[in-house]
Structure 1
Amino acid sequence: MAAATEVEMGLERCAYARVGLLGNPSDVYNGKALSFTIADFSATVRLRPSPELLIQPHPHHDLVAFPSLPHLVSRLQSEGYYGGVRLLMAICKVFYNHCIQNNISLKAENFTLSYDTNIPRQAGLSGSSAIVCAALNCLLDFYDVRHLIKVELRPNLILDAEKELGIVAGLQDRVAQVYGGLVYMDFSKEQMDKLGHGIYRPLDVNLLPPLYLIYAENPSDSGKVHSTVRQRWLNGDEFIISCMKEVAQLALDGHRALLQKDYTQLARLMNRNFDLRSCDCREMFGDDVLGSVNIKMVEVARSVGVSSKFTGSGGAVVALCPDGEAQAELLHKACQEAGFVVQQIKVAPSVLSDEELTSLSIC
């Protein structure tokens, strides 16, 4: 529970960017996933009591004043119509409706929500859901209902908020950001139908080897990746179903490899995850969807023997250097020459309280 003085002075909660290590995009298809959060990139939401309920626009991400009409058009062409205000409004609606439907009473007090983020836009790092997750944490503590909404169900609320806005996504990102740290997830249909959520297992972040993040200055649009594939899956396309089952198996195999610290196997699995998505199964996601810049990032990493795959739907790549620091130096040089940003990943720790972790073990 948030202290009364904290609520009175204002709350501040953050959620970290997410990297899909293995299994993506099978989370949308009753698959499995291994994901973790990055300490260097996060979204922060601030909530303070106020006479009226106010959603405060961000001075950069929700810009509505421009020097000229050409500047406005240029901005829309490069960044689209999207900002964080709509995300904050959506989670407020979903949170309120969930509380009403589950007889959770809320105090009659208003607030002002504002946000900030340093997560690169459209880079496959789940920047939008980080804003929603941080806002949900503010609402849980402002209304003192954290203990009444199960940890396992919070990712569903975040996803529901994004669905309100037409965002196509799965639960993987939201689970990783609600839990923080390293998480193994099982979204099998039996579990989803029985529990209303998957089975999520937090893991020790020290199981991970050194990993690197590669991203482009001109990211892709990650929102369109699942479009035709999901419909084919729903229609019972055997090819798509078979591919997704293999992608899901990679997450299960990766879970075992991490527990054994078998990083040679982990590197192989990461490469296979990407190959299934773009090479062996180009019929599943063609180059037009994956994007030439995104594919080039993987190709640059592999040119120096580094294992790599998308962190999400595109825009960024997670890389593992099987041969250690000397190979990492080659990776830095190759990325610099190709015009990509590369940095070693600092994994964020779990964000759950001891009480919440205990509740997971008895559910």
Structure 2
Amino acid sequence: MLCSDQNFDIAQVIRFFRSKPGELAIYYELESGEKSYSRGIVKVCPNTHRVTRFLEKPQEGVTASRLASVVFYCLRKESLTYISEFLNKHPDVKDRTFGKFWEWLVNEEKVPVYGMKLPTGFQLIGQVGLSDYTKWLAHYSSKQQLSPSKPITCRSYARVGLMGNPSDGFNGKTIAMSISNFWAEVTLMESQTLVLLPHPLNDPTEFGGLQDLFRISRKEGYLGGLRLLQATCKKFYQFCSEQGIALSKQNFTLKYDTNIPRQVGLAGSSAIVSATLKCLMKFYNITDNDLPQPVRANFILNVETDELFITAGLQDRVVQVYEGLVYMDFSKQLMDERGYGEYIPLDMRDLPMFWLAYLSDPSDSGRIHSNVRQRWLNGEPAVVEAMKSFAELTDQSRAAFQCKDWARLAQLMDENFELRRSVYTDDCLGPGNLKMVQLARQFGSAVKLPGSGGAVVGLCMDQERLMEMKRAFQEAGCVFCLIVPYDPSVQGQN
């Protein structure tokens, strides 16, 4: 019999087995105190999930792999003849073990065997003593063994694009920063059935009347956060199944809350997806090795683009995964070679004072992209060159951040906006965005769009005029605030 902290989803294991043209071996990652010579050790290709090497209880130092195969295998009907062949070739009883069989099957016969990871501890009942049981009880209690009284709560922050956007969707470069002013928070609680709780304001199902429904739908739209929770859960299960990660058989209740202004391009949707993914990873004990940061950003983007058909780029998802101030290079060569770009956190010490203003009654931010993507795909020279220029401005801004040359950064922010304006045109940017830019410039502030539209981010070199500028924005019907950067390296932050 097997001993683990949870029963895993056997249906998911069977689904993974059926999707692969070979046999199946379940494995897990050894704990720090476990010795590799006590287990069958496998090497698994991270891309294909094929077991490339099987070593039955190897001596210390023979392999660096810490992936241990457990006594759970799936063998196809047509492969059963291998058992007779193995027994004929190994008459000695001591060689006739299951581990030796799989070692022979993988290493000598080169039969395709695929590995599925069990994200948990593991022991064989009958091979452990009281001290081992005590150790494992302590191990499991340190995991997220949850009850309704101990939920998991995770938060993801809004972000502002400080340079290069919107070139993240066009093999460009950007710099973005997560901010503490606004966030999305998701809470997960273990439960008997899987429940997604609608938000009372963002997912209304009851109205005072048709006029109330009309007013709310006109202002908030039809796209609440509940669909984001559901799409993330669906994609998470699919991802784990495809990546060979067996999930424990547990259910949960999810709910969310957010104070990120809607439809002003501050990455509110991706913040909900990101926070949901954090909760699921903690609940199922999925580590950064299972879902590395750059892959996690791709996952969040795919939830929105593949499942919900939201027009989006990678920038928001990258900065919400890495958090802080992040330089991002999405060059075609990098994206083609490994599927993600180069993401470098920047020093956040002694940053200048940035401000943010947004429209109190915005339009759908996704419409701001217009037909630029198609023009870029068609190879239109003006668009192609503009995206290269965005990348050049980003590299210059990175140098300005490193040298703390804020006057130069302000100049580059203005250039970023004018370049965007030349490509997207005033008609596409809309009167609301142009009005906010014009207002900021009246007070000598650098200004640009931090996202897809509906808000502006600025850098005012004359801080004595900040309060005067704030009043002007408020009188114009906008919301104005000073940005509080979110620095993940600072202790005590959520």
TM-score strictly above 0.5:
yes
Per the TM alignment, residue 352 of structure 1 is displaced from its structure 2 partner at its CA by: 11
- Which residue pairs with 2:443 in the alignment? 304
Aligned to 1:229: 372
Tell me which residue corresponds to 2:111: none
- Which amino acid is the alignment partner of residue 438 of structure 2? E
CA distance in 1, matches of 2:363, 2:419: 20
Aligned ranges 1:335-354 → 2 under 5 Å = 335-350=473-488
Residue 295 of structure 2 is aligned to residue 153 of structure 1: yes
The CA deviation string for residues 179-229 of structure 1, in whole angstroms up to 9 with x for no partner, is 111000000011111121111001122252111111121123111222411
TM-score by length of 1: 0.92
Amino acid in structure 1 at the alignment position of 2:298: N
How far apart, in 1, do the equivalents of 2:213 and 2:284 lie?
A: 39
SS at match of 1:7: coil
| Per-residue deviation, residues 209-267 of structure 1 (Å, max 9, x unmatched) | 11111112112311122241101111111111011111121111100100000111100
Q: Name the counterpart of 2:355.
A: 212
Q: Which has the higher contact order (CA 8 A, sep 6+)?
A: 1
1:128 maps to: 269
SS at structure 1 position matched to 2:159: strand
Alignment partners' CA distance in 1, 2:142 and 2:304: 30
Alignment-derived partner of residue 98 in structure 1:
239
Residue identity matched to 1:90 = A
Q: 1:312 is matched by which residue type in structure 2?
A: G
* Distance in structure 2 (CA, Å) of the matches to 1:7 and 1:185: 37
* Cα distance in 2, alignment partners of residues 343 and 271 from structure 1: 20
Aligned to 1:357: none
Alpha-carbon RMSD across the aligned residues, in angstroms, is 1.7
Aligned residue number for residue 320 of structure 1: 459
**Partner-residue secondary structure (3-state), 1:258:** helix
- Once residues 115 and 329 of structure 1 are traced to their aligned partners in structure 2, the CA distance between those partners, rounded to angstroms, is 34
Give matches, 1:286-297, under 5 Å.
286-297=425-436
Aligned match for 2:409, one of 246, 266, 280:
266
1:50 aligned to 172, 191, 198, which one?
Answer: 191
Q: Deviations over 1:136-193 (max 9, x none)?
A: 0001110001231101111111000001111001000001111111000000011111
**Do structure 1's residue 72 and structure 2's residue 210 form an aligned pair?**
no
> Does 1:194 pair with 2:343?
no
SS in structure 2 opposite 1:205?
A: coil
Cα distance 1:298–1:3, how it changes in 2: closer, same or farther (>3 A)?
Answer: farther
Question: Matches of 1:186 and 1:30 in 2, distance apart?
Answer: 8
Q: Secondary structure at the match of 1:312?
A: coil
Quick one: distance in 2 between partners of 1:3 and 1:160? 32
% of aligned pairs identical?
48
Question: Residue 146 of structure 1 aligns to a residue in which SS?
Answer: coil
- Residue among 258, 272, 296 paired with 1:117: 258
Q: Check conservation: 2:202, 2:220, Cα contact below 8 A.
A: no
Distance 2:158 2:200 in 1: 21
Q: Which has the larger radius of gyration?
A: 2
Separation (CA, whole Å) in 1 of partners of 2:334 and 2:479 = 39
Partner of 2:143: 4
Q: Secondary structure at the match of 1:206?
A: coil
- Matched residue SS, 1:268: helix
- Structure 2 distance, partners of 1:348, 1:7, is 29
CA contact 2:187–2:279 (8 Å) conserved in 1: yes
Separation in structure 2 between the aligned mates of residue 330 and residue 21 of structure 1, nearest angstrom:
23
1:140 aligned onto 2:286: no
Q: CA deviation at 1:304?
A: 1.0
**Ranges in structure 1 where 5+ consecutive residues have no aligned partner:** 354-363
Structure ranking higher in helix proportion = 1
Mapped to 1, the partners of 2:482 and 2:212 lie a distance apart of 35
Which amino acid in the other structure matches residue 291 of structure 2?
I
CA displacement, residues 287-336 of structure 1 (integer Å, 9 cap, x when unaligned): 3331211111111000111100111011111110112x212233223213
- Report the CA distance between 1:22 and its aligned residue: 0.3
- C-alpha contact (below 8 Å) 1:94/1:161 kept by paired residues: yes
1:46 Cα deviation from its structure 2 partner: 0.4
SS in 2 for 1:220: coil
Distance 1:32 1:59, change over 3 A: same
Q: Which residue of 2 aligns with 1:356?
A: none
Runs of 5+ consecutive residues of structure 2 not aligned to the other structure: 1-119, 121-140
- Seen in structure 2, the aligned counterparts of structure 1 residues 307 and 3 have a Cα distance that, compared at 3 Å, is farther
- AA at the equivalent of 1:253: Q
The answer as to whether partners of 1:124 and 1:312 remain within 8 angstroms in 2 is: yes
SS at match of 1:285: helix
- Give distance in 1, aligned partners of 2:195 and 2:489: 27
- When the two structures are superposed, what TM-score results if normalisation uses the length of structure 2? 0.68
Q: 2:171 aligns with which of 25, 30, 46?
A: 30
8 Å CA contact 2:446–2:458 kept in 1: the answer is yes
Which residue of structure 2 aligns with residue 183 of structure 1?
326
